[in-house]
Structure 1
Amino acid sequence: MVERIVSLLKIGLDEVCFMGIWALGGIGKTTLAQVVYEAIRSKFDAACFLADVREVSEKEGLVFLQKLLLYYALECLPLIDQLYELESLQLCCSKIRKLWNGTPFLGKLRIIDLSGSEDLSETPDFSGTPNLEKMLLNNCHSGFGFMNLLGS
């Protein structure tokens, strides 16, 4: 059954596929999803399995789920439009390895908190963040290198 589900996902093609699993409670939907996830996760640069999304979002909120996803999946921030509007970037205890690639202009960014992000191994060029005032790196890996930190 797992092989059939994986084939329906069309992994490797230039398509985005979604699959829903509907059944009575307690029948094994989450278990099946976890087995499929384990079978395909190595085919992606980043992967994350979030269980009980509806229940967790109702109890903790969508921001909590977003933080979980960022914590488990990202190695490097994607340069999306919303990133350019950030004034504060909070990625405490994340699994991020590098903030971003290249030198994006993040003129509004003032604070970056990466405290506890033990996988952080390098920092990007900060020359595109002219208003950066504070960068918190408590309990981060001590051996990563700084490039143009705070415009220096």
Structure 2
Amino acid sequence: MEQDKVRLSPDALGYKDRGKMKWIGLMLSDHAEALKEQKSVNHKVQVSPKSRQSSKVISTYLHQSYSNKKPLSIQLNIIKNGNYLSDINGFIVGFKNNSVFVKQRDESLTRIKLEDVRHIDWVDASEWFNKYTRQNKRL
């Protein structure tokens, strides 16, 4: 005589697995904590205002960055909590209407309105590349 094996799933017994939901909740709390830490670091940085450049000078920088894929540093004319925002570093990958698109070290794209640009400087390409490769090694 052969024994029949009865297998009951946890769902059949009324047990609802929340493992995935718990994991997602854990990831969300860790992510929120990391964002809070990053925000506090950003608020501590005091950025001094650079001289306001003419639209002609700004256009020249943007065109050269787009044509030659040269990295640049853009200071926006936006003040938050009494300080200018940190400079945006990257190179121009496109234009649309009155905006430019900057590709940053982390491969993210940032859209910047032309009227918000205060000052542009070149970033030393070797310095930019070294920071980029060090950042990727940590990942």
TM superposition score category, shorter chain reference: under 0.3
Normalising to structure 2: TM-score of the pair? 0.24
Which protein is richer in helix relative to its size? 2
Normalising to structure 1: TM-score of the pair? 0.23
Which protein is richer in strand relative to its size? 2
